[in-house]
Structures are given as structure tokens and as C-alpha cells.
Structure 1
Amino acid sequence: MKKTITVLLTVSGALLVAAAPAQAAAKDPVRALKAEMVAGHGVRFTETANWSDGLDTLQAYTNKGVFQFGKKGPVGYDIASIAYDDAKDRAISIGRNTYYSGEYVADFLPKGKTWFRFEGGGAMPFLYAQVLNPAEPATLSALLAKGTKAGSKVTGKITFKDLDKVSPWFSGSDLSDWAGDTEVSYTLTLTSAGLVSKLSSSFRAEGTKNEYADFEGDIIEVDTRYTGWGSKVSVKAPDPKTVTGNSSG
């Protein structure tokens, strides 16, 4: 009987050891993300953006939105933003256009119009938005490559120059004209399925231009939470009757 028990324990132990690597195998986050790239589906997010001059910190904005996916990455978004003074803005990007409403464009809206249309789609719409977009496979791949993984977290730094190479979200934004050696520090948190659940980032503004000159040296920190990966999402352009501005067709 003792011999039988010993043999069973030995065999069972061998099976457990053999099975362990498969159970412990980490999910590939980029592969997990690409699996969610189904037309008409997407991911939802909420975020808080803080401004700091290095001494004082102010909660500047809270944002809530969705990314809609195509086969290779985001093809649209709808983001609502509330400022520290309760000013409200909204940005919708679909196709080759981005539409804005609220305080941001209030002075440019003629009577009867509530949306202003700009040429170009898919870029980061506000300064106080998450500068890193982990819903872009190439961007997520770069963040993983430049970061160090510990448990479910990946921590690292990436420059504006490197972001410009991989991220349409960043390269199409005004920030792409700032100093290329600006470093963004970040921490990604991954779910057991390999998808991003949280992303914290911060950077010090350098080489700011035009209307952003007053931000030189300031620090922008954004904490974002992602939920509902793969859920159904529908981003639609505003009613044309409510839109003014430019169009790329």
C-alpha cells in the first residue's frame, strides 16, 4: 500500500510539474489586444488629469469616453471632458474628421451650430487627455518593450520622438511639435487576460509652442482606467445640420 501511495504521489507530482508552465504562461498583451479588434466593438475608459508646477497640484480635468475598433486599431472615439471650473467639452472622431463642442470651440460657433469640424481624425483631442494610447497595438508593443514587468505591472519611459513613430493618437496631436526628447513615465496594469486595466502617465512640458507656451515646465499626470474590452461600441458623427467648420471629405 505504501509503495502504491508513493507511486501515485510521484506520478501526480510529475503531472503537476509538467502542467505548471502552461498554467503560468503569461498572456501576450499585444495578441490579446489584437483579438479585440473587431469592427463595431471597442473599449471604454475614464480618466483624471492633474496639472502641477512642481509645487502645487490641481485636478484639471476628468474625461470619459470610448474607442471604437477596426481590424487593425481604433477608428473612432467619443470623449466627454469636464474641467476644474465645470466647463464641458466633447470630441468625436470618426473617419477623417474630428468634431468638437463645448467651451473649447464656443467662440467659433455661429448661431444654430453646436459642433465645429476639423480636418484629421484619430488624434489626441485635448491637452489633458492620456498621451499614451494602449488601444493601438504598435503603441502597446513599444510600451511593453521599453518597460520592466513586475507581476501585473509594467513600468517604463518613452520619449515623444519614439511615440511619434508608432502612435497616430500622438503624432496627429499638437504635442508632436514639442521637444522630441520629452520623456513620458508610465505604469501599465494588466488583467489576467493580458489586457490593460489601468495606465498612469506623467511628463514635463518642454519645447511648447504657440498657445501652449504658458505650459512650459509644467507637469501633466493622467490616470486612466479601461473597462469593457470587446464590448459593442458605436461612434457616430453629429447631425450635419448642427456642424460648421472644415471638412476633409
Structure 2
Amino acid sequence: MKRVIACIAATLVTTSVAVTPVQAAAADPVKALKSQFVAGKGVKFTDVTTLVEFTGNTSFFKRTGSFQFGRAGIVASDVSAKRTTDAPETSEIIPWALDRPERTIRIGTTSYYSGGPWAPPKGKTWIKHPNGMSAGFSGWYGQLVNVAEPATLKALITKGKRTGRTYSGTISFGALEKISPWLRNVSLVRMSKDSKAAVLRFRLTLGSDRLPQRLVTVYPGSTHVSAAVAEDRQLSVETRYTGWGSRVTVKAPPASKVESVGKREPTVRGGSRG
């Protein structure tokens, strides 16, 4: 009987030692994210942008999209965006160029744009740029924080105060720009000094699998329009992530429908980034 008890005890100790690293890895959100980096797999997301004013909140922009992963992280994305209201209070925030829905496919650093401000020649529906923006012209009006990037996710959970599976805190746009390829490529216009200094508030909630489930960011409207126009307005973006590990395949548009334009881009940017 003593031998049986001793064997059971030894087995429990061995099992405990073997499982602990696995449990620790699973508890680390960054490691959980990196475990998703499998070729052909990815995640889907939806985000809603809201104008926050003293008089109330107005949701005015929505995006749906997906990220395709490779062994090193995001290798492609497909993002569709559309304005959801013509409320006059949003007209100073969102440019006329986005009155039409826009779609952006990005593979590597090559972007394909359709809709929105883009005007391909007759017979074509897409504009190709070899080193294009992360999510087209509309990217600056969607979620600017990409928690599918390990460095970005690490920054939020490091700076945030944890309550259960939720991390809340602040980070500057300048700090994010240094670590986030997504933010650096969200526009071809360099972020201004004032925009870099702007502070963004975030609230990130993880699922039981330790992967991002919901992200809400809030930041000054002056990052998008002049301070005189922004006054005390803020922008809030809520993003929800679904289908981690699902199959995602992002394909380039048919070559016959694509016009390559080299480095030419729309000159309208809006906000203080010019």
C-alpha cells in the first residue's frame, strides 16, 4: 500500500512539473497570440467609430475585416469600411471622400484599394500601390491599435491595470507608432508632433483563451481635425475579435481589374496629420 501511495505521489509531482510551463504559456496573452501564427489561419474583426461630445454620442463609421497570419504574424488583411450616418455633427470629422464604402486588400506591403476616394480608369475597379496604407484612406478613422501585433498587445497589457481579464490604461500615439507597423502604415502622411503627444485611453478584454476579444480606445478629436474644430470632442472605437484560428485566405484582386499607380495617392487627408 505504501508503494502504491508513493507511486501516486511521484506521478502527481511529475505531472505537476510537466504541466506548469504549459499553463504559464497559456496564461501569457502574448504567447497565446503567437500560438495563432499558423499559415492560412487568422482572425476576424468588426469595429465601430463613435464621435463623443458633451451633447451625446454619434456612431458614424463601421469596418469589418480579417487578418491572415503566417509564422511571423500578419501577412495579409482585408478590410471593408463604410460611413453609417450623415449626421451633420460628423461632417467635420470624416471627409467627403469616404461617403462611398471603401475596401482595402493588403498582402505583404502591397495594397489594393477600391471605392472610397479611388477612381480607377474605365474597366478597372482596383488601384494598386506597392507600399500602401494598412487599410486604405479609411484606416485613419477605424481602430488604430492593432492587438494582433505581439509588440502592441504586450504594450497594452504592460501599461494597463488588470481587473480579471480586462486591462485598462493609457498610451501615447508616439509610443504606439514606434512599435506598431500597422499604425506607421495607417497613412502615408507622417504623424504630426501634436498627434504623437496625444494620449489614447484603452480597455482591452481577453477571452478565456487569453486572446483579445474586445478593445475600446478613446482619444482626442484633435488627432483628426484641427484643435479649433475638435474642441472637447473625442473619438471612440470599439473592436470585437472573433474566429481566432479559423481559416482565412486573402487573395489579390484579378489582375485584369487592377490599375497600378506607383506612388500616387489622394492628397486629402483630413485632421492634423498633414
- Aligned equivalents of 1:225, 1:207: Cα separation in 2: 23
Q: Residues 216 and 56 of structure 1: is their aligned pair in 2 closer, same or farther, counting only changes over 3 Å?
A: same
Q: Residues 119 and 89 of structure 1: is their aligned pair in 2 closer, same or farther, counting only changes over 3 Å?
A: same
- In the alignment, which of 117, 121, 129 is matched to residue 110 of structure 1? 121
1:196 alignment counterpart: 212
Question: Structure 1 counterpart of 2:214, which letter?
Answer: K
Q: How many aligned positions are there?
A: 229
Tell me if structure 2 keeps the 8 A contact 1:94–1:122. Answer: no
- Aligned equivalents of 1:124, 1:81: Cα separation in 2: 9
Q: Residues 215 and 88 of structure 1: is their aligned pair in 2 closer, same or farther, counting only changes over 3 Å?
A: farther
1:165 alignment counterpart: 178
1:187 aligns with 2:203: yes
Q: Secondary structure in 1 aligned to 2:42?
A: strand
2:248 alignment counterpart: 233
- Report the alpha carbon displacement of residue 181 of structure 1 after superposing the two structures with TM: 1.0
TM-score by length of 1: 0.81
Q: Residues 132 and 244 of structure 1: is their aligned pair in 2 closer, same or farther, counting only changes over 3 Å?
A: same
- Report the alpha carbon displacement of residue 247 of structure 1 after superposing the two structures with TM: 4.5
1:65 alignment counterpart: 65
Tell me if structure 2 keeps the 8 A contact 1:33–1:135. Answer: yes
Q: Residues 56 and 163 of structure 1: is their aligned pair in 2 closer, same or farther, counting only changes over 3 Å?
A: same
In structure 2, runs of 5+ residues without a counterpart are 1-11, 86-98, 264-274
Question: Structure 2 counterpart of 1:38, which letter?
Answer: V
Q: Residues 139 and 110 of structure 1: is their aligned pair in 2 closer, same or farther, counting only changes over 3 Å?
A: same
Tell me if structure 1 keeps the 8 A contact 2:205–2:213. Answer: yes
- Report the alpha carbon displacement of residue 101 of structure 1 after superposing the two structures with TM: 0.9
1:177 aligns with 2:191: yes
Question: Structure 1 counterpart of 2:200, which letter?
Answer: V
Q: Residues 99 and 166 of structure 1: is their aligned pair in 2 closer, same or farther, counting only changes over 3 Å?
A: same
Question: Structure 1 counterpart of 2:256, which letter?
Answer: K
- Percent pairwise identity: 37
- Aligned equivalents of 1:240, 1:68: Cα separation in 2: 21
TM-score by length of 2: 0.74
* CA-atom RMSD in angstroms: 2.8
Question: Structure 1 counterpart of 2:222, which letter?
Answer: E
- Report the alpha carbon displacement of residue 74 of structure 1 after superposing the two structures with TM: 0.8
- Aligned equivalents of 1:33, 1:139: Cα separation in 2: 11
